[in-house]
Structure 1
Amino acid sequence: MVDISPAAAVQRRARYDAAAAALVYEGRTITAGTLATTVSRLAAGLAARGLRHGDRVAFLGLNSATLFEALLAASHLGAVFVPVNHRLAADEVRHILADSGVHTLIVEENHRALAESILTEIPVRRPVLVDTDPSCPAAPAPPAVWTLLSELLSADAKRPTAVPLSDDDLAALMYTSGTTGRPKGVMLTHGNLWWNAVNVDSMVDTRPDDVNLAVAPLFHIGGLNALTLRTLTRGGTVVVRRAFDPAQCLADLVEHRVTSIFAVPAMFAALARVPGFTEADLSALRAVVVAGAAVPPRLIEDYAHTHGVLLQQAWGLTETAPFATYLPAALTLEKTGSAGLPMPYTEVCLMTPERGGLIEQPDVRGEICVRGPNVVSGYWNNQAATREAFDDAGWFHSGDVGYRDKDGHYFIVDRLKDMIISGGENIYPAEVERVLSAFPGILEVAVVGIPDPKWGETVVAVLVCEAGVEPLLEEVRDFASRQLARYKLPTRLVVAPELPRNAGGKLLKGQVRDFVVQQVTVVSD
């Protein structure tokens, strides 16, 4: 068996080059030797408190060195890492932690209150509070229910040998919202993560000594596994920022001579607006991957003409770990707008939306489907969703509509499912509609996304209300914020006398979107 454990890779790196910089976190350098030692100690502390192979370890917090230490310690023991979107509301976090059956929950102080509000409703046996991160100070006297991370790291426990891991061992559960409104746990194996790295290193100009800037959220597959994890395990340096700040990002690119970065289009657009961007020395950049939302061609052209920086578009989902296609840098301008070619060890095809057969002709639209070793096998505890997404031949049906040109390059056109992507975050209308429908006086609600110059898309709610009811935007947002993350809240309300439906009563989202764009009776901006 070939051991592809990321924990084993970090331990191996520490043996050969302990002084090398593995992480640069908020200005503090963590060497490969220090990282390996911390991971080993944390694994020992977790094992002493009952964590075993296959158990789930969740992390609730911002980007941090601790997140990587938790991921690697979980891998060390053969446990499963569950990164939780820190922007979610308590009800959403509760569902994820309950659904995953989490054993150990590691929480940063800023999210302790949220965690404490749901602790009695989730199966967690070991809530752990981070008190070792100067960038995230812990409370001076947390309640007794919490185990401090420093206690785990200082425990006098025998350090276990890293568990060898192969393709089929479960590495992580990453939750992505479903059309039913409840997040689904995508089951990512170590093989899925490893084969994505093989694909990336086969197509992208990545190197063992890369300096990767991690500013995209690490609870997303793009932030974690597009370039970051492979950089850390292959021998490079990962510069970690707790969150994306455009000015700080530009400074980091220059100061650290960053060679690789993954970000969504809105982040690259914000970076280009920073004073001094045009004069900044970005000559070290080689692997600059943009994905997660539609990429405006003008953004690609501006980067190419201003700095000679080629934004390399890719396409994929959490279920493909993340990349299924990639546009080589040399074709950035020739094929602007294309999501690229299939990755070397991944199959991509187009099928009719009704799954009636393959589409082999160029320039014909169909649903993009994927299979390969980087593609997951299904969803945690959700056979119905797995059956819906995967066919009998093993093809994963993405729900995205696209076409393939005569040269074999794929172009993304639209989504079969009415997902909204705002600032790189996936928002499913059914989830928002479910919450808004409970607002007093609202009879019907339809949620759609419309183009937004800053975020890509913004959320708009179309309401049919009882007579005399005229809800204000802030009232609706305050109501919904109890159950939904802020980025899912509507930014505009539109009142309509009725919602368009077909003869069978099905809501016609296309007509709803057209109605919104026509700016009919705006209640508030």
Structure 2
Amino acid sequence: MAAVDISPAAALHRRAKYPTPTALRYEGQEFSAARLSRTAVELAAGLAEQGLRRGDRIAYLGLNSAAFFHTLFAAAHLGAVFIPVNFRLVAEEVRDILVDSGAHTLVVEDGHRTLVESIADDLPARRRVLVDTDPACPAPATPPAGWTPLSLLLGPGRAERPPVPLHEDDLGVLMYTSGTTGRPKGVMLTHGNIWWNAVNVDSMVDTRSDDVNLAVAPLFHIGGLNALTLRTLLRGGTVVVRRAFDPAQCLDDLVRHRVTGLFAVPAMYAALAREPGFAEADLSALRSPIVAGAPVPPRLIHDWAERDVLLQQAWGLTETAPFATYLPAALTREKTGSAGAPMPYTEIRVVDPVTGDGIDEADTRGEICVRGPNVTPGYWNNPEATAAAFDDAGWFHSGDIAHRDKDGFYYIVDRLKDMIISGGENIYPAEVERVLTACPGVLEAAALGVPDPTWGETVLAVLTCAPGAEPTLEEVRAFAGRHLADYKLPTRLLLLDRLPRNASGKLAKAELRRQVASRPATDTL
């Protein structure tokens, strides 16, 4: 039996043959599937003239945009590997990614041109393309030296070819991790990984061919790109693209466009819930709001449930493309706090992080491991990291601590590396943070381990609070003590205006530790 072609470029080309709703809405522009596909075909021909070939890497550096999708589909058309680069990185970090990946071509918005020029001598890229087709990020009228305007690569008249057939093992996307554990690693995602995630999502989530998806999470993040966005584009729905997340604009978009599906991290949903007008907004179309990417406070689930919107928690990583577990809306209230059960075509197990032995008992914590066709084959140019992440049976070790209840639903406790050991007892910061965020007046919370001469480590609570709220350590301990054992209670308190987060919306604990090191605690025992 011949291998099935699962190229996203071919899928978009097929969609373009049929009458379907607008495929993409972006900054006042509307793109039909035919227009989107035509632009991708033209760009693919232009990039081929520039020397881009199957297997070459092409990087995109810029905010969410139509040009992002043009580049992605043009890359797939040629069988090239697409690299979405985190647009919030500094020059050194971008250089590391572009050098490590060996990117042949760079497609860059003008807002990042100076950054790229500052590291150009170190880069292996042979071609630099400047986006000049987007009024939201205008480019100079005269192309800067060394740059090819994107517009020059578009238009008819070039030798065109049909999309390159792509199969499960063909590398499609090289996505660099956010770097919360150190230097970013290039996660290799095959077209099979991407395709099987869509199959998992469509098997479990209430998705339909005419969905309206709002893409406000960064598209360089696997959740923003592949949770709902790509499958919506390829299946026949509409994607509303915003360059970045703005709570007021997002709330308006949910109502105005009758959005049915949204992927966002907890901090985004929390910001929406605080937005004036949230209580009155018509969110009746929103049937597939997925929350993932960071620990989800139960209070957040309850806040949205009061609006009759049932947030659906999922869990996964870049390495799982992204979802490994999912909690259906029907169980949102009954299993609040659970990240759900395994996706249909994904296996999950919990193991002892020391021995690697499987844990079969319910409510026993261990490292959660994943196996399935949505799981990356490994890290680009990094066999050591790949070997460390996979065991001999092919299980990917996530580094997350979880437990499974008697019904088979999983609860993510924390990152293994973030665990605090106090007096020989294990403390998981996410467990403490869930309680702290429920404290009156608290908006956000982080729990860090800090040295203690008696216990080795104890908990430092770092909080952001609503205007006028300044809880004391005694008040925080009194509240948290109703839900946590004594040894888990914070012994120090620090109040900040905001918590640092990376571009994916996750708490940037390395940066937070640096901030904490330079500031005295607000309150201590």
Q: Same fold (TM over 0.5)?
A: yes
* Equivalent position of 1:294 in the other structure: 295
Secondary structure of the residue aligned to 2:23 is strand
Q: Is the 8 A contact 1:41 1:152 kept in 2?
A: yes
2:18 is aligned, of 5, 16, 19, to 16
Secondary structure of the residue aligned to 1:408 is coil
* Equivalent position of 1:381 in the other structure: 381
Question: Using a 3 Å threshold, how does the CA distance of structure 1 residues 408 and 202 change in structure 2: closer, same or farther?
Answer: same
Q: Is the 8 A contact 1:205 1:286 kept in 2?
A: yes
Q: How does 1:43-82 map to 2 (within 5 A)?
A: 43-82=44-83
* Equivalent position of 1:34 in the other structure: 35
Question: Using a 3 Å threshold, how does the CA distance of structure 1 residues 218 and 451 change in structure 2: closer, same or farther?
Answer: farther
Report Cα offsets for 1:324-379 as digits up to 9, x if no partner: 00001000000000000000000000000024310001000000000000000100
Kindly state the Cα deviation for residue 144 of structure 1 after the two structures are TM-superposed: 1.8
Instruction: Give the partner amino acid of 1:373.
Output: P
Q: Is the 8 A contact 1:45 1:155 kept in 2?
A: no
Question: Using a 3 Å threshold, how does the CA distance of structure 1 residues 320 and 486 change in structure 2: closer, same or farther?
Answer: closer
Kindly state the Cα deviation for residue 490 of structure 1 after the two structures are TM-superposed: 4.2
Question: Using a 3 Å threshold, how does the CA distance of structure 1 residues 495 and 337 change in structure 2: closer, same or farther?
Answer: closer
The runs of at least 4 aligned residues of structure 1 exceeding 6 Å deviation read 419-422, 485-488, 515-518
Identity %: 68
Question: Using a 3 Å threshold, how does the CA distance of structure 1 residues 341 and 452 change in structure 2: closer, same or farther?
Answer: farther
| Structure 2 CA distance for aligned equivalents of residues 245 and 78 of structure 1 | 35
Report Cα offsets for 1:139-180 as digits up to 9, x if no partner: 233322000000011373111210011100000000015577
* Equivalent position of 2:150 in the other structure: 149
Kindly state the Cα deviation for residue 70 of structure 1 after the two structures are TM-superposed: 0.5
Q: Is the 8 A contact 1:225 1:322 kept in 2?
A: yes
| Structure 1 CA distance for aligned equivalents of residues 299 and 512 of structure 2 | 27
Kindly state the Cα deviation for residue 100 of structure 1 after the two structures are TM-superposed: 0.3
* Equivalent position of 1:3 in the other structure: 5
| Structure 1 CA distance for aligned equivalents of residues 82 and 509 of structure 2 | 24
Q: Is the 8 A contact 1:494 1:520 kept in 2?
A: no
Q: How does 1:159-198 map to 2 (within 5 A)?
A: 159-177=160-178, 181-198=182-199
Question: Using a 3 Å threshold, how does the CA distance of structure 1 residues 486 and 408 change in structure 2: closer, same or farther?
Answer: closer
Q: How does 1:384-403 map to 2 (within 5 A)?
A: 384-403=384-403
Instruction: Give the partner amino acid of 1:303.
Output: W
Q: Is the 8 A contact 1:62 1:217 kept in 2?
A: yes
* Equivalent position of 1:369 in the other structure: 369
| Structure 1 CA distance for aligned equivalents of residues 77 and 393 of structure 2 | 34
| Structure 2 CA distance for aligned equivalents of residues 319 and 105 of structure 1 | 24
Question: Using a 3 Å threshold, how does the CA distance of structure 1 residues 394 and 115 change in structure 2: closer, same or farther?
Answer: same
Report Cα offsets for 1:462-509 as digits up to 9, x if no partner: xxxxxxxxxxx9xxx9xxxxxxx999644864459xxxxxxxxxxxxx
Instruction: Give the partner amino acid of 1:188.
Output: L
Secondary structure of the residue aligned to 2:267 is helix
Question: Using a 3 Å threshold, how does the CA distance of structure 1 residues 108 and 178 change in structure 2: closer, same or farther?
Answer: closer
Kindly state the Cα deviation for residue 182 of structure 1 after the two structures are TM-superposed: 1.4
Show structure 2 runs of 5+ residues with no match.
420-428, 434-445, 449-456, 467-495, 501-506
* Equivalent position of 1:217 in the other structure: 218
Kindly state the Cα deviation for residue 452 of structure 1 after the two structures are TM-superposed: 4.3
* Equivalent position of 1:481 in the other structure: none
Instruction: Give the partner amino acid of 1:337.
Output: G
* Equivalent position of 1:271 in the other structure: 272
Instruction: Give the partner amino acid of 2:54.
Output: H
Kindly state the Cα deviation for residue 120 of structure 1 after the two structures are TM-superposed: 1.0
Secondary structure of the residue aligned to 2:400 is strand
Q: Is the 8 A contact 2:62 2:109 kept in 1?
A: yes
Question: Using a 3 Å threshold, how does the CA distance of structure 1 residues 63 and 29 change in structure 2: closer, same or farther?
Answer: same
* Equivalent position of 1:470 in the other structure: none
| Structure 2 CA distance for aligned equivalents of residues 400 and 296 of structure 1 | 17
Report Cα offsets for 1:190-209 as digits up to 9, x if no partner: 00000000000000000011
Question: Using a 3 Å threshold, how does the CA distance of structure 1 residues 285 and 451 change in structure 2: closer, same or farther?
Answer: farther
Using structure 2 for the length normalisation, give the TM-score: 0.82
What is the aligned length? Answer: 452
Q: Is the 8 A contact 2:346 2:371 kept in 1?
A: yes
* Equivalent position of 1:500 in the other structure: none
Structure 1 window deviating more from structure 2 (412-421 vs 48-57): it is 412-421
Kindly state the Cα deviation for residue 92 of structure 1 after the two structures are TM-superposed: 0.4
Q: Is the 8 A contact 1:450 1:517 kept in 2?
A: no
| Structure 2 CA distance for aligned equivalents of residues 178 and 262 of structure 1 | 21
| Structure 2 CA distance for aligned equivalents of residues 127 and 268 of structure 1 | 37
Report Cα offsets for 1:230-285 as digits up to 9, x if no partner: 00011100000000000100111111100000000110011111111111111001
Instruction: Give the partner amino acid of 1:335.
Output: K
| Structure 2 CA distance for aligned equivalents of residues 353 and 203 of structure 1 | 30
Secondary structure of the residue aligned to 1:154 is coil
* Equivalent position of 1:411 in the other structure: 411
Instruction: Give the partner amino acid of 1:9.
Output: A
Secondary structure of the residue aligned to 1:348 is strand
Q: Is the 8 A contact 2:21 2:210 kept in 1?
A: no
Question: Using a 3 Å threshold, how does the CA distance of structure 1 residues 238 and 493 change in structure 2: closer, same or farther?
Answer: closer
Show structure 1 runs of 5+ residues with no match.
430-445, 456-472, 478-484, 497-514
Secondary structure of the residue aligned to 1:182 is coil
Q: Is the 8 A contact 2:5 2:166 kept in 1?
A: yes
* Alignment partner of 1:320 is 2:320: yes
Using structure 1 for the length normalisation, give the TM-score: 0.82
Instruction: Give the partner amino acid of 2:318.
Output: T
Secondary structure of the residue aligned to 1:193 is helix
* Equivalent position of 2:96 in the other structure: 95
Instruction: Give the partner amino acid of 1:223.
Output: G
Q: How does 1:434-513 map to 2 (within 5 A)?
A: 451-453=462-464, 489-490=511-512, 493-494=515-516
Question: Using a 3 Å threshold, how does the CA distance of structure 1 residues 122 and 410 change in structure 2: closer, same or farther?
Answer: same
Q: Is the 8 A contact 1:87 1:486 kept in 2?
A: no
Instruction: Give the partner amino acid of 2:311.
Output: L
Q: Is the 8 A contact 1:39 1:72 kept in 2?
A: yes
Question: Using a 3 Å threshold, how does the CA distance of structure 1 residues 142 and 298 change in structure 2: closer, same or farther?
Answer: same
Report Cα offsets for 1:377-432 as digits up to 9, x if no partner: 1000000000100001000000000100000000011111239999xxxx9x9xxx
| Structure 2 CA distance for aligned equivalents of residues 449 and 193 of structure 1 | 39
| Structure 2 CA distance for aligned equivalents of residues 178 and 66 of structure 1 | 26
Structure 1 window deviating more from structure 2 (347-356 vs 177-186): it is 177-186
| Structure 1 CA distance for aligned equivalents of residues 221 and 367 of structure 2 | 23
Instruction: Give the partner amino acid of 1:101.
Output: G
Q: Is the 8 A contact 2:63 2:87 kept in 1?
A: yes
